[in-house]
Structure 1
Amino acid sequence: MSEVEGGAAAGLSHRVPDLGALQLLLAVARLGSLGRAARELGISQPAASSRIRAMERQLGVGLVDRSPRGSRLTDAGVLVTDWARRVVEAAEAFDAGAEALRDRRDSRLRVAASMTVAEYLLPGWLIALRRERPDTAVSLLAGNSAAVVERLLAGEADLGFVEGRTAPRGLRGAIVARDRLVVVVGPDHPWASRRAPLTPAELAATALIQREEGSGTREVLDAALAGHGGLAAPLLELTSTTALKAAVASGAGPAVLSELAVAEELAAHRLVQIPVEGVELRRALRAVWRSDARPTGPGRDLLSLTRRAQ
């Protein structure tokens, strides 16, 4: 292909009017008056006259003859109006198709979330989203943070929520909440009556009931105790926060869990919190999405709702 041919294919001629000008010309043809056409389109008559004149200069031909009795199309104007009608109809069909695509996109939202967010934060956010978008069907896939990342990267979720120190590689994110991990035991555990806080070394050396590898809780705990000898082998390893809390309450052993997850049990004295000194157990809860697929439609609205709740 020659440079001339390539340049012609690269874009429309500068002599092609914009859609607004073509719609104005069609209104003048239909109504026989520039003033009535301007009122129909919600613009002033001087602005309409200026737009017609600009289009005539752009095309190099006269389009409308103006007189006290109204506005009449010239022969060239009749021809251009016929072309304009086809262009505007094609644009309207394009717009309708794009709207249908948006409606299909907005009809569902696939959310993947870590257990803490899925159980203790998302229900409130999804109820609020339901009020704003009653026609959007939401599916929620709960799992550990590693599973959330896998689903996002595989295109199986539109928006994810994870726990951890940083946004996972390959994803972009925004902090939507803050959380703290706390050490808890059952009321009959020996630690329940101790007065001195635990040291990081004591916590690291203790066999804990733990979440599985890949969970945000486990990742934060591993990092916090890495400089204190690292985590001891787990006493038990469970994938469910509910099962983990039940095991701790029964006296099986201590655990480190989200403060959000144990608030009710601590208030009811089914679990006892044990203070720890010298270790940072705070963490961020993040909304995450693929770097090439920023949330749109209902995903964008859900993300906005999380920020309002902060």
Structure 2
Amino acid sequence: MDQHLKIFLTVAEMQNFSRAAEEHHMTQPAVSQYIRTFEEMIGTRLLERNNKYVRLNKAGEIVYHHGKEILGLYTKMQNLVDDLTNKASGRLYIGASYTFGEYVLPRIISNLQDIYPDIHPEITIGNTTKISGLVATNQLDVGIVEGQFIDKKLIAEELAEDAMVVVASVNHPLAKKKGEIVRTDLQRETWVVREEGSGTREATEKVFRQFNLSPEKLMNFSSTQLIKESVEVGLGISLLSQWTIQKELKNDDLKILDVAGLPLQRKFSIVTNSRFQTKALEVFLSILRKNKLLMTL
């Protein structure tokens, strides 16, 4: 891979010539020379720099965006060629949305490492939109995402179903109500929800439409763990995956509310962007498929 592009990407990400030099085991003047040569090759200045900062200009943003994709494609190409003669090994870049990544993926990775210790997984956790985008631009080999957002460039395969339920603190009035919870009960409650772009948020909005709800107050959090703790102390109610609340149910910290028409079922999918797969990715996908039963509560 062209060293000039690699060094440019490092400088852009670290916003510092000295730290980029350390990363590549070079001197700072050498890094500066690589950047000057690279800018001459491209035909324009890519970085704005002074004593206080180094940052991308408009042209630099374009080169950075496509450079990341080029680097991802090069790495994938090299891994595919290496696989022709070698066993499953090397780095495997895996992305997952929060629910799957934090509550299911760890045991899958443990299984992978037991069988294939020479594979070195690197995990990125983000919402569905982010993970799909990174797979689409070759920065991740595979993603496991929830909801309906899937880039048209991606190859999708259904993996598992998840049940979404409304939860409250065990001390919440609705947790003590006898009989089913009705629409008016849900309408007047504060809802603690995930951020836009999250598959859990998408499922929550689907429930709002299903019950014709317009909650008077929404609290937006980017962490499922934070939502659980907030609901547990009585800040409101939330729609969460049953995968995420097993410990809280066992410890009597949260309670599933008896709401007619729920739980809501949603699907998780595997997404890739090429039919050419490294051996490391092939065996990971095989393990994912074999663990489908473990993903069913």
Could you tell me the TM-score, scaled by structure 1's length?
A: 0.63
Q: Is the 8 A contact 1:165 1:283 kept in 2?
A: no
In the alignment, which of 283, 286, 289 is matched to residue 307 of structure 1?
Answer: 289
Give distance in 2, aligned partners of 1:307 and 1:207.
38
2:83 matched to 1:126? no
How far did residue 167 of structure 1 move? 4.6
> Helix, strand or coil: the match of 2:134?
helix
CA 199–272 in structure 1, closer or farther in 2 if over 3 Å, else same: same
2:162 matched to 1:176? no
Report what 1:149 is aligned to: 132
> Helix, strand or coil: the match of 2:236?
coil
Give distance in 1, aligned partners of 2:232 and 2:170.
7
Report what 2:207 is aligned to: 224
How far did residue 99 of structure 1 move? 3.9
Write out per-residue CA displacement over residues 240-281 of structure 1, whole angstroms, 9 at most, x where no aligned residue. 111111111111111111101001101110111101112561
Write out per-residue CA displacement over residues 165-206 of structure 1, whole angstroms, 9 at most, x where no aligned residue. 475533222222211111111122111101222235643564
CA 258–171 in structure 1, closer or farther in 2 if over 3 Å, else same: same
2:191 matched to 1:208? yes
2:233 matched to 1:272? no
Structure 2 unpaired stretches of 5+: 1-79, 293-297
Give distance in 2, aligned partners of 1:224 and 1:299.
35
Query: Structure 2 matches for 1:222-301, cutoff 5 A?
Result: 222-232=205-215, 234-279=217-262, 281-290=264-273, 292-301=274-283
> Helix, strand or coil: the match of 1:183?
strand
Count of aligned positions: 213
Give distance in 2, aligned partners of 1:149 and 1:294.
18
How far did residue 135 of structure 1 move? 1.2
Q: Is the 8 A contact 1:182 1:273 kept in 2?
A: yes
Q: Give 1 or 2 for the bigger CA radius of gyration.
A: 1
Q: Which amino acid aligns with 2:113?
A: R
Give distance in 2, aligned partners of 1:121 and 1:236.
26
2:183 matched to 1:197? no
How far did residue 228 of structure 1 move? 3.2
Could you tell me the TM-score, scaled by structure 2's length?
A: 0.65
> Helix, strand or coil: the match of 1:253?
coil
Report what 2:61 is aligned to: none
Q: Is the 8 A contact 2:132 2:150 kept in 1?
A: no
Structure 1 unpaired stretches of 5+: 1-96
Q: Is the 8 A contact 2:99 2:243 kept in 1?
A: yes
